[in-house]
Amino acid sequence: MNAGEENLLKSISNDTLLDLTQRYGQSAFGFGPGQITGSPGGRYPLTPAADFLSGQTGKSNESGGEQTSDDDDDRFDPLDPRKRGSAFDDDKHGGPLSKKPKEQRSLRLSINARERRRMHDLNDALDGLRSVIPYAHSPSVRKLSKIATLLLAKNYILMQAQALEEMRRLVAYLNQGQSITSSIPTPIAPFGQAAVYPFTGSALATCAEKYSGTPASLFKHHNDKP
- Cβ proximity to DNA, 63 vs 176, nearer residue: 63
Minimum distance from residue 50 beta carbon to DNA (Å): 17
Range in contact with DNA (rule: CB under 7 A) among 34-42, 151-159, 173-181, 199-207: 34-42
Closest distance between DNA and the C-beta of residue 135, in Å? 14
Residue 129 or 204: which CB sits closer to DNA?
129
Is 53 a binding residue for DNA by CB under 7 A? The answer is no
Q: Binding to DNA (CB under 7 A): which residues in 191-220?
A: none
Asked if residue 38 binds DNA (CB under 7 A), the reply is yes
67 binding DNA? (CB under 7 A): no
Report the alpha-carbon distance of residue 33 to residue 37 in Å, rounded. Answer: 7
Q: Which region among 14-22, 85-93, 166-174, 178-186 touches DNA (by CB under 7 A)? A: 85-93
Q: Are 135 and 215 in contact (CB under 8 A)?
A: yes
Burial track 176-195 (b if 16+ CB lie within 10 A, e otherwise): eeeeeeeeeeeeeeeeeeee
Are 136 and 8 in contact by the 8 Å Cβ rule? The answer is yes
Residue 150: CB atoms within 10 A of its CB come to 15
Contact characters 100-129, DNA, x per CB under 7 A: --------xxxxxxxxx-xxx--x------
| DSSP codes, 91-139 | GGGT-GGGGS-HHHHHHHHHHHHHHHHHHHHHHHHHHHHHHHS-S--ST
Tell me how far CA of residue 14 lies from CA of 7, 21, 30, 179, in angstroms.
12, 11, 22, 44
Question: Segment contacting DNA (CB under 7 A): 76-84, 157-165, 167-175, 198-206?
Answer: 76-84
- Determine the Cα–Cα distance for residues 60 and 73; give it in Å rounded to an integer: 11
Residues near DNA (CB under 7 A): 1-5, 7, 38-46, 63, 68, 70, 75-76, 81-89, 95-97, 108-116, 118-120, 123, 145-148
